[in-house]
Amino acid sequence: MSFLKTTMLVWAIFLDFLGFVLFIFDFEIIGILLSFFLDFLGIVTLGIWAWLKGRSITETPTRFLQKISTKFGLTAVSEILPFWGDIFPSWTIFVATTKD
């Protein structure tokens, strides 16, 4: 596993852990608002990582980029859903199942 993937995996675990902590506050409005901010942060950082990882110098778009885009889209939708996105570790699963 490369250094960058290890870093992204730690970041994904951190995002999922914070999401689980915010699940406690989801029953109040503040938890839902903070959860959406956390989801946006994950979409931006891991989205840029996935996009740069799938880019090829010679050909664009690659088959890998199309596969990553589909998997990332499902992950992002899963994270945006209230309550479900906070308890399901979709960022960690996304990074862990992405090829080096």
Longest dimension (CA), the chain: 50
- pLDDT given at position 53: 79
- The pLDDT assigned to 14 comes to 95
Location of structure tokens 């506050």:
25
Question: Going by C-beta distance under 8 Å and a sequence separation of 6 or more, which residues neighbour residue 81?
Answer: none
**Cβ(6)–Cβ(69) below 8 Å:** no
Cβ proximity of 14 and 91 under 8 Å: no
Amino acid identity of residue 39, one-letter, is D
Report the pLDDT value the prediction gives residue 48, as an integer from 0 to 100: 87
pLDDT of residue 45: 92
Tens place of pLDDT per residue across the chain (100 aa): 789 889 999 999 999 999 888 888 777 777 778 888 988 999 899 988 888 877 554 545 666 666 667 788 888 888 888 788 888 899 899 999 887 7
